[in-house]
Amino acid sequence: MSLPARTDIDPEYRFDLTAIYASPTEWEDAYEQLCSRLSELQSLVVDPVSAAAELETLLDAVADCFRRKQRIELYATLAANVATDSDDAADRKRRSERLTETFEPAVTAALRRIGEAKEYIDDLPESDRRYARNLRAQARHVRSADVEEAIAAFEEPLGASSRIVRAARLEDFEPPVVERPDGKSVEVRYGNRRTELSHPDREYRRRVFEAYHGRMDRYEHTLTRAFGEKLQAAHAEASVRGYDSIRQRALNQRCYPESGLRASLPEKVHDAMLEAVRGNLDPFHDALSLRKRRLGVDRLRPWDLQVSIAESDPPELDFESARDHILAALEPLGEDYVERAKQFFTQRRIDVYPTQDKRTDIPAYCPSSAKDGAYILANFEGDLRTAFFICHELGHAMHVEYEREGATRYANAPRPVEEVPSILHELLLVDHLLDEGGALADGAQNRLLECIGGNFYGAARSAAFTHALAQHVEDGEEITVDRARDIAASLREEFYAPVEFGDHPGRRLPVSGIREAYSNYQYVLGAMGALSVHSQLRNGDFTPESYRDFLRSTGRQESVVLFETLGCDVWTAEPFEMAAGTFGEYVSAFDEEKEN
C-alpha cells in the first residue's frame, strides 16, 4: 500500500518547524552566526584565564555555542527526515554534521583553558560551578590543538560505518516480496518487518522471516566489518584521549541535548548490571515459555517472537483516541504534567503519520534542543503498538520540558537515566488500559511483556555482545563473521533458551551499526529505574512532585546520584534483581489470567 503525500495530511498532524526557524534562510543566518561565535570563542582562549570574571565569560561563551548548535542540528534533522527527497534539506543536514570540524577544536581549546583555571572556580556564582567543574574534568582527556583538529577532521569519515549499515539496511537492500494469506503481496523492508512478523498466520511469519533474513544474509560480512571498524575507531580515539577502554570512553559521553556537560557512569556499574541481569534470566525464559503456550506451538521459533499473545484481536485506534488514552494515563504524574503534555499535541510538535518521503525506518524518535524543546517524529499506524511508541517518546519530550526550566547549560540528561521517563510512560499507559478492559487491556498486557522484556533483557543481551566484541578489539583481534556469529549464538542460547533458532543461531547479529557502540546499557538501566519509580508511585513512597523534581535536576547531578534519588543503588545487584522479580510477577499475572 502506497503512503500518502505529505500535503495530503492535515497540517495539525505535521511539524511546524517555523517555531524553530521561520525559514531556511533564517537557518542559514543562524549557521553563520554560530561560525562567528566560534571565532569569538577561539579569541577568548588565546591567553590563560586570569580572573573569575574571565572564566565566567568563557563558560558563557561555551554554553552559548552549544545552545546555537543544538538548534541548528534540530531543525536540519527534522526537516531532512520529513523530506527525504529534498536535496536542500539533505545538504543542510550534512552541513550541520560537518560543523564538528570547526566546533570541536574551538570547544576543546576552551576546555584546556578551563582545565588550567581551577583556582577561580570557587569564586564563580554557584550556578556556574558544576558546569565549570564538569568541563574541567573533561580537560584531562583533551589533547593538543593539532591532535584535536585531526580528530575533528576525521570524525565525519569515521562515521562511514554507520552510513554503510544504513545503506545496507535501507538504500541498497532489495526487499523480498512475500504474499500474505489474503493474497496481497508485501515488500518486506527494515521498517515494516516487525509489523509483518506480528501477523497471526504462523506460516506467513515464517516466510517473512526467512525471506527477509535470507536477503540480509548477503550483507552479513558488510555489517560485521562496519561494526568492527566502528569499534576500532572508538578504540583509537579512547587510546588517544587517555581512556582505559572503549567502554570507559562510551560511559563518559556528553549528555543530550549537548550543552558541554558530560555524563559519567563507572564501569563497575556496567559490570554489575550485566552480571545481575544474566543471573536473573528465569523470568525472561518464563515469558518465552508463556509465549510458546499461548501460541499453542510445539517449538518456539524466531518468527514467533513478535506476534501478540493477547487473546483479543489487536484493537484499532484513531489518533485522537490514542492521544486521549495517553493523556489519561499520565494523570498520576499531576495536573501540571498533563497540561504540559497536551501542548505537544496542540503545538504541532508531533509529526503523526507515515508519508511519502518521510523517514519510516523507525517507529518514532524525539530530538530536541534546550531552547526549542522536543519534537516527536512518529509513524502512527492506527494501532496500539505505535500508540505506545508515541507515549514512549512523549516521556523523553516531557523530560526535556521540565529540565529546560532552568539554565540552558543544565537542560539535559545523563544517558544512563534518559530512558527512565519514556519507559515509565509505557508502564502508566499499561495501567490505564488495564482499567479500560477488553481488547485494550489484552493488548496492554502483551505490550508490557514486550517493553520490559526488550528493554531489560533484550538490551542486556546486545550490551553483552558489544562488550565481548570490544574486548576482542582491545586485545588486537579482528572482528570476523565467525567470531561475531559464535558470540551471538552463545548469547542467544543463554538469553533465549526456550527458542529454537535452527541452523542459524548466530543470525541477526545484534550489531548497533547505526548507533554508537555501548548504546544499549541505557535501556537496561532505564527499565530498572522506571520499574522502581512506577512501584513507588503506586504505593505512595514517591510523589509526583518528587518525580518532576527528578526531571528538573538531571543535568545537575551525576548518574549514580540520580539513581539514588529513585531508590536504586546501581553499584549492587539489588535493583536489577527487583526489576527481574517485578517482570516475573507480570509474567505470572498474565499466565494466571489465562488459566482463570
Query: Is the pLDDT confidence value at 592 over 90?
Result: no
Q: How many residues does the chain have?
A: 596
β-pair partners for 286: none
β-pair partners for 413: 256
Domain final residue pick, 114, 130, 158 = 158
**Residue 113's domain is classified under what CATH number?**
1.20.140.70
Rounded Cα–Cα distance for residues 224 and 203 (Å): 30
Q: Is residue 229 part of a domain?
A: no
What is the pLDDT, as a whole number, of residue 505?
59
Task: Name the phi and psi angles at 300, rounded to 5.
Answer: -85, 120
**pLDDT grade for 157, boundaries at 50, 70 and 90:** low
**pLDDT grade for 510, boundaries at 50, 70 and 90:** low
Whether 348 contacts 11, CB under 8 Å: yes
Domain final residue pick, 119, 143, 158 = 158
Cis omega (within 30 of 0) on the bond before 416?
no
Task: Name the phi and psi angles at 308, rounded to 5.
Answer: -65, 145
What is the pLDDT, as a whole number, of residue 511?
55
Rounded Cα–Cα distance for residues 311 and 566 (Å): 35
Average pLDDT, the chain: 93
Q: Identify which of 540, 510, 530, 521 has the alpha carbon closest to the alpha carbon of residue 583.
A: 530
Contacts for 537 with CB less than 8 Å, ≥ 6 apart: 332, 543, 544, 547
Q: Is residue 590 part of a domain?
A: yes
Per-residue pLDDT of 565-589, as tens digits, reads 999 999 999 999 999 999 999 999 9
C-alpha cell at 325: 488514552
- Helices 521-539 and 574-595: crossing angle in degrees, nearest 10, is 70
Rounded Cα–Cα distance for residues 360 and 261 (Å): 31
C-alpha cell at 61: 561563551
Contacts for 292 with CB less than 8 Å, ≥ 6 apart: 299, 300, 304, 498
The three-state secondary structure class of 49 is coil
Domain final residue pick, 158, 185, 219 = 158
Q: Kindly state the average pLDDT of the residues 49-55.
A: 97
Query: How many helices (H) and strands (E) would you count in the chain?
Result: 25, 7
Per-residue pLDDT of 281-324, as tens digits, reads 999 999 999 999 999 999 999 999 999 999 999 899 999 999 99
Structural domain harbouring 35: 6-158
Helix (H), strand (E) at residue 373: strand 373-374
The three-state secondary structure class of 95 is helix
Over pLDDT 90: what percentage of the chain? 82
The CA–CA distances, whole Å, from 522 to 70, 269, 415 equal 22, 12, 6
Higher-pLDDT residue of 147, 511 = 147
The three-state secondary structure class of 317 is coil
Query: Is the pLDDT confidence value at 32 over 70?
Result: yes
Rounded Cα–Cα distance for residues 404 and 411 (Å): 5
Prediction pTM value: 0.95
**Residue-wise burial string across 359-383, b where 16 or more C-beta atoms lie within 10 A, e elsewhere:** bbeebbbbbbbbebbbbbbbbbbeb
Q: State CA 333 to chain mean position distance.
A: 23
Please give the single-letter amino acid code of residue 99. L
**pLDDT grade for 192, boundaries at 50, 70 and 90:** confident
Whether 57 contacts 41, CB under 8 Å: no
What is the pLDDT, as a whole number, of residue 220?
85
Task: Say how many Å lie between the first and final Cα of the chain, rounded.
Answer: 41
Query: Is the pLDDT confidence value at 2 over 70?
Result: yes
Q: Is residue 150 part of a domain?
A: yes
**pLDDT grade for 366, boundaries at 50, 70 and 90:** very high
Rounded Cα–Cα distance for residues 385 and 3 (Å): 19
Per-residue pLDDT of 230-239, as tens digits, reads 899 899 999 9
User: Which range, of 118-132, 153-167, 363-377, 545-559, averages the lowest pLDDT?
Assistant: 153-167
**Residue 443's domain is classified under what CATH number?**
1.10.1370.40
Q: Kindly state the average pLDDT of the residues 15-44.
A: 97
User: Which range, of 153-157, 329-333, 397-401, 550-554, averages the lowest pLDDT?
Assistant: 153-157
β-pair partners for 187: 177
User: Which range, of 468-472, 521-525, 587-591, averages the lowest pLDDT?
Assistant: 587-591
Whether 363 contacts 198, CB under 8 Å: no
Q: Kindly state the average pLDDT of the residues 465-490.
A: 94
Query: Is the pLDDT confidence value at 354 over 60?
Result: yes
Q: Is residue 186 part of a domain?
A: no
Rounded Cα–Cα distance for residues 123 and 273 (Å): 39
Q: Kindly state the average pLDDT of the residues 199-225.
A: 91
Q: Is residue 128 part of a domain?
A: yes
User: Which range, of 122-131, 383-392, 504-513, 560-569, averages the lowest pLDDT?
Assistant: 504-513
Q: Is residue 165 part of a domain?
A: no
Query: Is the pLDDT confidence value at 428 over 70?
Result: yes
Q: Is residue 555 part of a domain?
A: yes
β-pair partners for 177: 187
Query: Is the pLDDT confidence value at 513 over 70?
Result: no
Query: Is the pLDDT confidence value at 78 over 60?
Result: yes
Number of compact structural domains in the chain: 2
Please give the single-letter amino acid code of residue 30. A
Q: Is residue 488 part of a domain?
A: no
What is the pLDDT, as a whole number, of residue 190?
85
Helix (H), strand (E) at residue 275: helix 267-278
Query: Is the pLDDT confidence value at 327 over 80?
Result: yes
Task: Name the phi and psi angles at 316, rounded to 5.
Answer: -90, 145
